């Protein structure tokens, strides 16, 4: 598995984002029983940067906490059989499944940790778990989808040992 992290956040990051990302990505893949080694990209940014990306990619004119850009179009969320016969979804050199890109606003991580009364570590872990589910085809447009995603995020965070503190 390869996780490529690009830190474009200009302020110091006080959490071990590399370890948290590795822990949560592995927990998500275990939880979802992903049969492949994967490649995922993560970019850490500030609110102005994620605002610009959100506007350009989604037409939403405000900053957000996390953006997910899946490489795979799942017919059924978490059903990895959709990739079996599509070599374009695998890195030609490593053979890893190209899962997608995650962009996280570290400003939002810190703001939301304070707002929700937990640590920045837990908030960052939550956003990685949330985004991993999006990269694997899950969404929360409908109420039942939101409830399912919340339960799954909590399970992933339990597996990775990032609970509320």
Q: Which two tokens stand for residue 116?
A: 């929700």
Q: What is the pLDDT of residues 38-95, one digit of tens each?
A: 999 999 999 999 999 999 999 999 999 999 999 999 999 999 999 988 999 999 999 9
pLDDT score recorded for residue 37: 96
Q: Please, which residues bridge with residue 100 across strands?
A: 40, 70
Domains in the chain: ranges and CATH: 2-160 (3.40.390.30)
- At 102, the pLDDT band (50, 70, 90 cuts) reads very high
pLDDT score recorded for residue 141: 84
The model's pTM = 0.95
Question: What's the rounded Cα separation, in Å, for the pair 151 and 16?
Answer: 25
pLDDT score recorded for residue 165: 59
pLDDT score recorded for residue 140: 87
């Amino acid at each position: 598995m390869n996780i490529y992290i690009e830190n474009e956040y200009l302020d110091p990051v006080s959490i071990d984002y590399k370890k948290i990302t590795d822990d949560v990505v592995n927990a998500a893949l275990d939880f979802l029983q992903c049969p492949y080694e994967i490649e995922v990209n993560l970019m850490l940014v500030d609110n102005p940067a994620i605002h610009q990306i959100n506007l350009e990619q989604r037409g939403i004119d405000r900053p957000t906490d996390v953006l997910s850009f899946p490489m795979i179009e799942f017919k059924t969320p978490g059903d990895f059989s959709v990739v079996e016969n599509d070599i374009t979804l695998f890195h030609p050199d490593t053979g890893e499944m190209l899962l997608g890109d995650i962009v996280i606003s570290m400003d939002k991580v810190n703001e939301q940790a304070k707002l929700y009364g937990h640590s920045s570590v837990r908030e960052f872990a939550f956003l990685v778990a949330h985004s991993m589910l999006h990269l694997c085809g899950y969404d929360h447009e409908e109420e039942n989808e939101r409830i399912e995603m919340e339960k799954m995020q909590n399970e992933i965070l339990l597996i990775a040992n990032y609970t509320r503190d």
